[in-house]
Amino acid sequence: MRKAVLVSLDAFFDADFQYLAPDGGLSRMIREGAVCRQVKTVFPALTYPAHATLITGCDPDQTLIGQNQPFQPDTPPGARRWYWERKHIAVPTLFDAVREAGGKSCSILWPVGCKNPAVRWCFPEIHLLPGENLVVKTLTFGSPVFILASEARYGFLRQGIKEPGLSNYAAAIAAHTIRKKQPDLTAVHLIDLDEMRHHHGTFSPEAVEAIHRNENRLAAIRQAIEQTPGMEDALLIAVSDHGQSDISITVDLTAGLKKLGLSDDFGVQSNGESAYFFAQREDADPAKAIALLQKHLAKNGIQRLYSRQELDRLHAAPGVAFACEAADQVVFSDGLDENKREKATHGFGPGHSAENCLFAVWGRGVRAGIELPEMPMRDVAPTIAGLMGLSLPSAAGKDHSADILG
């Protein structure tokens, strides 16, 4: 089994290549390795569904991770639980494949990765709910000894969960673990760029600075690989989950359903730039609701409606009656107050200008300067498995490793 370090650059998309520094960490990876600039993200373009696909090679209809959160219509937004735990993913992951091959993995802030028996060293990505304690929840959802040792060594780098400190912290833990433990698979999620875009705008100076910080983090992780005995043949892999676009108009679809007399039939869950509708009664008629909403698209900030048949073709998660996508500059609130303060977001559907994500590979034996063709996000995990010499038979995607290795 070949070792790999998987780095997720949350919210990076193809328009960002223009901002890369010529000698930055990602620029060097692309110049000296292989890259796909058009990895088509999942629907909806959200962090948790995308990362579940990136680690399994399956779409949301198979992973059953169709949103960041389960549908919780009777729970206040700030108290809603997320898909934090590995048990929520319905199919095998790369972490499982590593364990089956006798290897060990490290997961740092990887979405839907908590309480994972296949991961030896886990620093969990979780959010606090009312009444919870950060220390207790972090230790409960991750690997206590690993977390405490990481905090003792690098806790000074962060201020709570604020960025860019949190991503500096995650990257430092990853580099240290590579040097000291040499995991067979190290997966780290860097959230800096996503946060900067949400708070300051898609192409704001703050977002561009975050791109450069991520390049520096990639360079530091690469240096750890190059300087560590036992990591000579390790692959450095960079991926992303979605882009973002600017927003200025907040639309409450729950209020829209009430005005149209549909609130007893359907509940709504915001995905940011799209939304899910769930049947609340057995006799609820999605076709009737779609026809009624079709007449009031502009009033409700809707650009497009998706029937269940269309959602099936998009490999969207089951259980959703129908869905909609927001018009330009619109975000659906679903009672989420933070959406009203954001300047950019995601959650869009296919064909969006920010749908093209990243997949880049560097390491010994990788053909330099290779540009891979467009691929669906489900191709990433089987390709990584192929590069590592692992088997991931449950993956629905295609293995491109033969095109990458010389």
141-147 average pLDDT score: 98
- Report cis status (omega within 30 of 0) of the bond before 44: yes
Pinpoint the residues of the chain covered by CATH 3.40.720.10: 4-245+354-404
CATH fold of 249-341 = Gyrase A; domain 2 (3.30.1360)
> Taking the CA of residue 155 as centre, how many other CA atoms within 13 Å lie in the half-sphere pointing to its CB?
9
Res 298: pLDDT:
85
Sequence ranges of the chain with CATH classification 3.30.1360.110: 249-341
Is 0.95 topped by the overall pTM? Answer: yes
N-term to C-term CA, the chain: 18
CA atoms within a 13 Å half-sphere pointing along the CA-CB vector of 306: 27
Structure confidence at residue 266 (pLDDT): 96
Residue 335's pLDDT is: 62
Residue 207 has pLDDT above 90, yes or no: yes
Task: Give the C-alpha separation, 389 to 98, whole Å.
Answer: 10
- Please tell me the distance from the alpha carbon of residue 7 to that of residue 11, in angstroms, as a whole number: 13
Report the percentage of the chain scoring pLDDT > 90: 94
| Confidence at residue 333, expressed as pLDDT on a 0 to 100 scale | 86
Reported as a pLDDT band with limits 50, 70 and 90, residue 353 is very high
Do the beta carbons of residue 79 and residue 130 sit within 8 Å? yes
Query: What is the third-level CATH fold of 4-245+354-404?
Result: Alkaline Phosphatase, subunit A (3.40.720)
| Residue 30 token pair | 């692309």
Q: What is the DSSP string of 125-168?
A: ---PPTT--HHHHHHHHS-HHHHHHHHHHHGGG-STT-TTHHHH
How many Cβ atoms sit within 10 Å of the Cβ of residue 151? 16
Query: What would the pLDDT profile of 219-238 be if each residue is shown by its tens digit?
Result: 999 999 999 999 999 999 99
List C-alpha distances in Å: 296 to 260, 293, 304, 326: 9, 5, 11, 13
Average pLDDT, the chain: 96
3-state secondary structure of 249: strand
- Going by their DSSP bridges, the two strands 105-108 and 185-190 should be labelled as parallel
The residues that bridge with 362 in the sheet, in sequence order, are: 236
Q: Where are the beta strands (DSSP E) in 159-253?
A: 185-190, 235-239, 245-246, 249-251
Give 14-64 pLDDT, tens digit per residue. Answer: 999 999 999 999 999 999 999 999 999 999 999 999 999 999 999 999 999
- pLDDT (tens digit, 9 = 90+) per residue, 289-312? 999 999 988 889 999 999 999 999
For range 354-360, the mean pLDDT: 98
Over residues 247-274, the mean pLDDT reads 94
For 82-113, the pLDDT digits (tens) are 999 999 999 999 999 999 999 999 999 999 99
What pLDDT is recorded for position 338? Answer: 52
Token look-up 């559907």 returns 349
